Structure 1
Amino acid sequence: MTVTAYTLAVVLDLFVVLIGARFLLQPRPAAAGYGVPAKPDGDPAYLTIKGLRDGTFGLLGLALLAFSGAHAEAWFMLVVALLPLCDTLIVLRNGGQKSVAYGVHFATAVVVLLSAGLLFAV
């Protein structure tokens, strides 16, 4: 179970780093994939903020796992699960596709909570 818990946590953290990088390097396609496309004439600052936020959370998760261990990472995952839950609501409230809201964001929250549970069990 330890290998599974650590592997899932690392994969999730790296995935969030990649999402952050995509928002920094390809902001408009990343926003469309998020479920709420960016307006063509809109301020790109929110896309940059999202990229930095996600990248930072991913790196923080990796650092916690490497330097503080599974228990600290478990608490981090538990708290961070709020983000995809809120992303679900953001997509739904802004006319995004329900399939993206539930199939991407809500499903991500469930996997992050599963990861937290596995890490607490280690």
Structure 2
Amino acid sequence: MQYVAIAITVLCGLGIITAGVQYLVAPAKTAKSFGLPAWPDGRSLAWLNLKGVRDIVSGLVALIPLALGQYQVLAYLLLAAALTPIGDALTILRYRGNKTLAYAMHGSTAIIILIASVLFFVS
């Protein structure tokens, strides 16, 4: 079970870091895949850079305790981190964005993170 939790954590950690880098490099293009009906443009694109930094830090928050073998701490951090994709999904739904992305991408991400958390707790 622990190996499955480690694999999920590595994939999710690297995945969100990759997304964060994409928001820093090509914010307008990347934003279209998030699910909201509209994004800022022009100078307001700076908000997407903030999202990029948040995503990179989120990935590191998962990968650092994993690298240190702090599985119990990681279980709690993943439990807390699942709130981010839940909040993302709820925001998309509230503002009438893409329901498929809200449920499929953000909702499933939250569930996968919660599964990894539980696996760390029980192993």
Identify the TM-score tier after normalising by the shorter chain.
Answer: over 0.9
Cα distance, 1:4–1:78 mapped onto 2, change above 3 Å: same
Over aligned residue pairs, what C-alpha RMSD do you find? 1.3
- The corresponding residue for 1:110 is 111
Q: Distance in 1 between matches of 2:33 and 2:24?
A: 14
Cα distance, 1:16–1:28 mapped onto 2, change above 3 Å: same
- The corresponding residue for 1:82 is 83
> What one-letter code is carried by the residue in structure 1 that aligns with 2:41?
P
| TM-score (ref. length: structure 2) | 0.92
Q: Distance in 2 between matches of 1:35 and 1:29?
A: 12
Moved over 4 A (4+): none
Q: Distance in 2 between matches of 1:31 and 1:67?
A: 33
> What one-letter code is carried by the residue in structure 1 that aligns with 2:113?
V
Matched, 1:67 2:64: no
Instruction: For 1:1-122, list aligned pairs within 5 A.
Output: 1-36=1-36, 37-41=38-42, 43-122=44-123
> Any unmatched runs of 5+ in structure 2?
none
Alpha-carbon shift at residue 41 of structure 1 (Å): 4.1
Q: Distance in 2 between matches of 1:56 and 1:87?
A: 16
> Any unmatched runs of 5+ in structure 1?
none
> What one-letter code is carried by the residue in structure 2 that aligns with 1:60?
V
